[in-house]
Amino acid sequence: MSDLPKLSVVGYADRQSVAPGETVRFMVSKEGNINQYRARLMRMHSLDSHAGGCGLIEEEVPADFAGVYPARHQQLTTGSYVRFAESQQPDWLGSFTLQAYIWPTLPGEKCQSIIAYWNEPAKEGIRLEIDGKGALSLVLAESRGVETVVSTETSLLTREWYLVSASFDFETGDVCLSQTPLRRYPKINETALVRTTIDVGHQWSGAVLSIAAHSTKGIESNYSGFFNGKIDRPRIARRALTADEIVALAADRVPTELSQDIIGSWDFSIYQGTNHIHDLSLSLRHGEAINLPARAMTGHNWVGGNNDFKVVPEQYGAIHFHDDDLYDARWEADFQWTVPDSLPSGCYAVRLDNANIPGYIIFFVRPPRQGGGKRPKIAFLAPTAHYLAYANFRRLKERDPMSEDPGRLWQFGPEEVLLEQRSNFGSSLYERHTDGSGVCYSSYLRPVLNMRPDTRLSSLAGDGYVLAFLRECEMDYDVITDEDLDCEGRRLLDSYSVVMTGGHPEYITKRMWDGLIGFLQRGGRLMYLGGNGFYWRVAFHNTLPGVLEVRRGEDGERTWAAEPGEYYMSFTGEYGGLWRRNGHAPNELVGVGFTAQGFDTATYYRRNSDAENPRAQFIFAGVADEIIGDFGVGFGGAAGQEIDRYDRSLGSPPHALILASSEGHTDNMLLAKEDLDGTGLRVGGVENELVRADMVFFETGYGGAVFSSGSISWVAAMPWNNFENNVAKITRNVLERFVDDEPFTMFNVPQSEAIKGPRE
The DSSP line for 725-748 is: SHHHHHHHHHHHHHTSSSPP-STT
651 burial via Cβ count (<10 Å: 0-12, 13-18, 19+) = middle
How far apart CA 656 and CA 659 sit, in angstroms, is: 9
Q: How many whole angstroms separate alpha carbon 590 and alpha carbon 499?
A: 12
Query: How many whole angstroms separate alpha carbon 585 and alpha carbon 606?
Result: 25
Side chain identity at residue 133, one-letter code = K
Residues sharing a CB contact under 8 Å with residue 87, sequence separation 6 or more, in sequence order:
none
CA 77, CA 220: separation in Å to the nearest integer? 13
Domain borders along the chain are 81-321, 378-742
Q: How far apart are CA 608 and CA 631, in angstroms?
A: 19
Please tell me the number of Cα atoms within 13 Å of 24 on its side-chain side: 27
- Residue 403 pLDDT: 44
The gap from C-alpha 682 to its chain's centroid, in whole angstroms, comes to 33
Distance CA 602, CA 710 (A): 13
* Interval 326-366: pLDDT, tens: 999 999 999 999 999 999 999 999 999 987 788 999 999 99
Exposure of 25 in the CB half-sphere (CA atoms within 13 A): 10
Sign of the C-alpha dihedral computed for residues 455, 456, 458 and 463 taken in this order: positive
Contact present, 717 and 629 (Cβ < 8 Å): yes
- pLDDT for the residue 750: 44
Class of domain 81-321: mainly beta
CB atoms within 10 A of CB 259: 13
d(CA 226, CA 228): 7
Taking alpha carbons only, the member of 558, 607, 596 closest to residue 686 is 596
Rounded CA separation 577/584 (Å): 12
Asked if residue 163 lies in contact with residue 232, where contact means CB atoms within 8 angstroms, the answer is no
Buried (b) or exposed (e) across 388-399, using 16+ Cβ within 10 A? bbbbbbbbeeee
User: What is the C-alpha separation between 125 and 224, in angstroms, rounded?
Assistant: 14
Kindly state the DSSP code that residue 591 receives in the 8-state scheme: S
Q: What is the DSSP letter of 93?
A: B
Give the contacts of 421 (CB within 8 A, at least 6 positions apart).
none
- Burial bucket for residue 135 (CB in 10 Å: 0-12, 13-18, 19+): buried
Name which of 310, 279, 285, 283 is nearest 295 in CA terms. Answer: 310
Which amino acid is residue 728, in one-letter code? Answer: A
Low-confidence ranges of the chain (pLDDT < 50): 1, 398, 400-404, 406-407, 749-760
| CB-count exposure of residue 400 (10 Å: 0-12, 13-18, 19+) | exposed
pLDDT for residue 3: 57
Coil vs helix vs strand at 265: strand
* Contact partners, residue 455, CB within 8 Å, separation at least 6: 413, 415, 449, 461
Dist. CA 509–CA 695, nearest whole Å: 25
- Helix residue ranges, H only, 201-254: 243-249
Torsion over CA: 121, 122, 126, 127 (sign): positive
Residues whose CB falls within 8 Å of the CB of residue 83, separated by 6 or more in sequence, listed in order: 210, 219, 223, 287, 288, 289, 290
Instruction: Report helix angle 460-472 to 726-738, nearest 10.
Output: 70
> How much helix, strand and coil, in percent to the nearest 5, is found in the chain?
15, 30, 55
Closest listed residue to residue 426, CA positions, set 110, 4, 10: 10
Give the Cα separation of 686 and 662 in Å (integer). 12
> Which stretches within 223-324 are classed as H helix?
243-249
Q: Where are the beta strands (DSSP E) in 546-656?
A: 547-550, 593-607, 627-628, 639-645
Q: Which whole-number Å values give the CA distances from 104 to 134, 147, 297, in the listed order? A: 9, 25, 14
User: 224 with 213: CB under 8 angstroms?
Assistant: yes
Q: Give the span between the Cα atoms of 757 and 746, in whole angstroms.
A: 13
Give the pairing of strands 162-168 and 214-215.
Answer: unpaired
Cα 737–739–745 angle (5° rounding)? 60
Q: Using CB atoms within 10 Å of the CB of residue 186, give its burial: 0 to 12 exposed, 13 to 18 middle, 19+ buried.
A: exposed
Query: In Å, what is the CA distance from 296 to each residue of 29, 182, 558, 569?
Result: 34, 21, 21, 7
Sign of the alpha-carbon dihedral angle for 337, 340, 345, 348? negative
How far apart (Å, rounded) are the C-alpha atoms in residues 505 and 384? Answer: 9
- Which pTM value belongs to this model? 0.94
Of 448, 543, 374, 534, residue with least CA distance to 76: 448
Burial 456-468 (b: 16+ CB within 10 A, else e): ebbbbbbbbbbbb
